Structure 1
Amino acid sequence: MLEAKEHSSLEGVIKIIGIKSAINLGLSESLINSFPGIERIARPIFAPGEIVDPNWLVGFVDGDGCFHIVTQKTESSSKVWLAFQITQHSRDTLLMESIVKYLGCGKVYNRNSTPALGEAPDFRVYNLDTVSSKIIPFFLEHKLQSVKSLDFYLFREACVLLLIPPGGGKRWSPYAVRARKGR
């Protein structure tokens, strides 16, 4: 379209708006009112296959993954746990399930996101043994390329400290504080 300069005509703009109708949230009320005769394009159905390249998953996590160090303090105790999570739009539930299959761990949870987005699937791994035996080795072998590698470093350090037998549990707090404050 750009090479043929179609985008600079009214017909080209209408064609672009038709394409936009199939992307993310579709057309805004304003666009629908401004261009009432738009021929909408059907959203392609994407059925993810098997994940075959670990680098694809690393890139996906670089963009949409989270390494959480969760702290909870009550009057009588403190708890710390780790959570690895990826959240997507509801239309990507099958993709989240393929990540469970590929990594051999985790679970997909559905939660309400926003009224516009509806339910959003979360792929999550909470179990400390699973984090230490599957998630951490995967990302040590297949390196994250973004600033998220710093989050992973803190996450890994917290995991090591949490695996120390009772009595060594107080050492985690600097890592949790740094992770919560944006490194």
Structure 2
Amino acid sequence: MVPSYSRKAISGQNNYLGTVTSQKIDENQMGNRGSKSEFQSPQPNEISVKEQRVDGSYFGFYPKLRCTLMGFERSYQIKIPSNQLKLLKFFSTLNSKPETEINPWFITGFADAEGCFSIKIQQNAKLSLKWRVRPVFSITLHIKDIAILESIKNKLGVGNISKCGEKAVTYAVDSIKDIHVIINHFDNYPLVTQKLSDYLIFKQCFEIIKQGNHLTEIGLLEIIGLKSNLNLGLPVKVKEAFPNVPEVNKLEYKFNGIPDPFWVSGFTSGEGSFQIIARNSNNSIFARFSIHLHIRDLEVLKGISTYFNEFTEKKVTMTEKSAQLQISKFSDINNIIIPFFKKHPILGVKSLDFIDFKKVCDILKTKEHLTSTSVYNQIIEIKSGMNLNRK
């Protein structure tokens, strides 16, 4: 699964580095989310990953983020009024204390799951080279999770949050001064997944832009060559305009381990799933924690699976395109998974799924659901309000 994004021009060199308000996003340029996967649900009625992200964004056998992320690297300017942002805070489930400062490793983990590093190359007849270049770091979420974006924005101290369609919001950073803050963050708290390769290309392009070399033909061609290996590569119009630009070899990626427990909670807040599975035949109910990733991030998944506890009974399964970690042994759920995320909290709407997940596990400890219809129905009622069913 995958996303990517856009902005407003100012004069001079800032023609290349503007201020974000609101934008449409090109679904064809959403490969930046390199850690996403295309996979088939384990069972017909079970949707495993990112259930509470953009409503209706998962469908069919191969889920993809759909129409809330639109456009072709162009923007439309619809700024969210401040009172609307206040109303949107109704959706905030970040913490009982919203002012709690987000851990920097959480930001990196969440960016590994949800972030986008992109270089926008757009035609502009007013410029000497006729092309405008802008680096953009962005995260797009369901509007219910605006609190996470606000917390990230407050921690980093840069960027803007804008509405993106009816049900999504985007946090984006694209000014040259602010991108420097983003570079500093990810240099100090490095990415873990294949997205690290995109970041390194993004950083190379930024260095060219920072020196003003993007205003020269040589610098522009160098950026285009680098962008050819970024995310989904070059847009059709850029390919047609620059057919002979040589591609730049992408730096080889190597998984170097899980750096911090808050990276895990950040990544899980984006990629993880807390599920309650019911078997109607014998009133059997079990809890399952799972993460789906693209097969290229298999080593990351293995690293997460061993990070919790080497003795945890876990199952990593693979298809041609995806890999899945599942932990469903109740003692592991109760003694390792729940304590871990109580200490290193899930943020956003998914935190409500974790609360319900824990609530059901507390009931399962008693085993009363096996003999009491009312207790069994209580669990089913909790389950019915989780993930995609959460209002």
Q: What is the TM-score when the length of structure 1 is the normalising length?
A: 0.79
- The answer to whether structure 1 residue 137 and structure 2 residue 342 are counterparts is no
Aligned position for 1:83: 288
* Bigger RCO of structures 1 and 2 (CA < 8 A, at least 6 apart): 2
Q: How does 1:18-167 map to 2 (within 5 A)?
A: 18-27=225-234, 31-73=238-280, 76-104=281-309, 105=312, 106-112=314-320, 119-165=321-367, 166-167=370-371
Q: For the residues of structure 2 that align with 1:19 and 1:78, how far apart are their CA atoms?
A: 56
Indicate the SS of the match to 2:319: strand
Contact residue 162 and residue 169 of structure 1 kept, 8 A: no
CA distance in 1, matches of 2:276, 2:216: 52
Match of 2:146 in 1: none
**Is structure 2 residue 390 aligned with structure 1 residue 182?**
yes
| Distance of aligned partners of 1:84 and 1:8 in 2 relative to their CA distance in 1, 3 Å threshold | farther
Contact 2:257 2:300 (C-alpha < 8 Å) held by counterparts: no
Question: 1:109-151 CA deviation, whole Å, 9 max, x = no partner?
Answer: 2124xxxxxx112222122221111110100111123332111
List gaps (5 residues or longer) in structure 2.
1-207
Q: Which one-letter code corresponds to 2:255 in the other structure?
A: P
Deviation string, structure 1 residues 81-121 (Cα, Å, up to 9, x no partner): 32212222222111111111111232322124xxxxxx112
The corresponding residue for 2:222 is: 15
Indicate if the aligned counterparts of 1:161 and 1:171 stay in contact, CA closer than 8 A. no
Aligned to 2:323, the other structure's residue is in SS state strand
CA 24–148 in structure 1, closer or farther in 2 if over 3 Å, else same: same
The alpha-carbon distance between structure 1 residues 170 and 91, as it changes in their structure 2 partners (threshold 3 A), is same
CA deviation after TM superposition for structure 1 residue 176, in Å: 0.5
Q: Which amino acid aligns with 2:347?
A: Q
1:179 deviation in Å?
A: 0.1
* 1:89–1:32 distance in 2 versus 1, CA, 3 Å: farther
Change (3 A) 1:80 1:41: farther
Counterpart in the other structure of 1:116: none
Aligned Cα RMSD in Å?
2.5
Is contact 1:161–1:169 with CA below 8 Å preserved after alignment? no
Q: Is the CA contact 2:283–2:376 (under 8 Å) kept in the aligned structure 1?
A: no
What is the CA–CA distance in structure 2 between the aligned matches of 1:71 and 1:15, rounded to whole Å? Answer: 55
How many residues are treated as equivalent by the alignment? 175
SS across alignment from 2:210 = coil
Q: Structure 2 vs 1, CA of residues 42 and 124 (structure 1 numbering), >3 Å: closer, same or farther? A: farther
Cα distance change, pair 33–82 in 1 and its aligned pair in 2 (3 A): farther
| Per-residue deviation, residues 51-106 of structure 1 (Å, max 9, x unmatched) | 24111111111122111223354xx4454332212222222111111111111232
CA distance in 1, matches of 2:315, 2:237: 39
Letter in 2 for 1:82: A
Q: How far does residue 34 in structure 1 lie from its aligned partner after superposition?
A: 4.5
Deviation larger for 126-135 or 23-32: 23-32
